[in-house]
Chain A
């Protein structure tokens, strides 16, 4: 079983919609979590860091539930430019554990 599990999607949503992704992790000792965005054939880019219960940055909100060992990412007022793959990441030592990603397609 992978350390981090994500629904691969794809999630197809219209512009302006709110969409949420969930991610589960298996190591209860994980100290911090991240959401990365990856565009096709490009490098992953950091979207948000989560060190405590959650974080918010504009239209993006991440929440951490340690009891249930999941992290969520909420995107409000979706834009066409939000179309990408979103990677959930946990940190429990020297290396980060990446999920395989959730694909989002925002349509006009």
Chain B
């Protein structure tokens, strides 16, 4: 029973490099989310998706892009990484509103 799986778990990038974070869920959930969490800031929503082929901006979308080509996968891309994007990134999914979200165990990203 995998739930929500995030890859990679850790990554170090240099400024200007690009990368993609993968989130996969096996619960057939419609809604998927990407958050970042920084000390003292709480969880901040980057982008979300309410179904396959749909995406929408959250609270802090700048510098990130997302895609939901398959229902089970939600990809978060950084086109040109910046030190300000050093953070812990969490993916979450849920069946629909008003159900709760289930989180992956996070990706720790450092940008030098």
Contact = CB atoms under 8 A, between A and B. Distances in A.
Question: By DSSP majority rule, is chain A's interface helix, strand, loop, or mixed?
Answer: loop
Given A43-B105, A43-B106, A94-B50, A99 B97 contact: no
B48 A95 contact: yes
Given A31-B98, A42-B105, A94 B31 contact: yes
Contact of B97 (A31, A41, A87, A89): A31
A93 B56 CA distance: 13
A22 interface: no
A20 interface: no
Contacts of B98: 31-32, 51, 91
A91 B97 contact: yes
A43 B103 contact: yes
Contacts of A17: none
B45 interface: yes
A98 B43 contact: yes
Contact of A95 (B33, B40, B102, B103): B33
A79 interface: no
Contacts of A34: 100
Contact of B102 (A32, A46, A89, A94): A46
6 nearest A-B residue pairs (beta carbon)? A100-B42, A32-B98, A43-B103, A98-B43, A31-B98, A34-B100
Interface of A: 31-32, 34, 41-46, 49, 51, 87, 89, 91, 93-96, 98-101
21 contacts: A32-B97, A32-B98, A41-B88, A42-B106, A43-B104, A43-B105, A44-B90, A46-B101, A46-B102, A49-B100, A87-B42, A91-B98, A93-B97, A94-B56, A95-B48, A95-B58, A96-B100, A96-B101, A99-B42, A100-B41, A101-B42
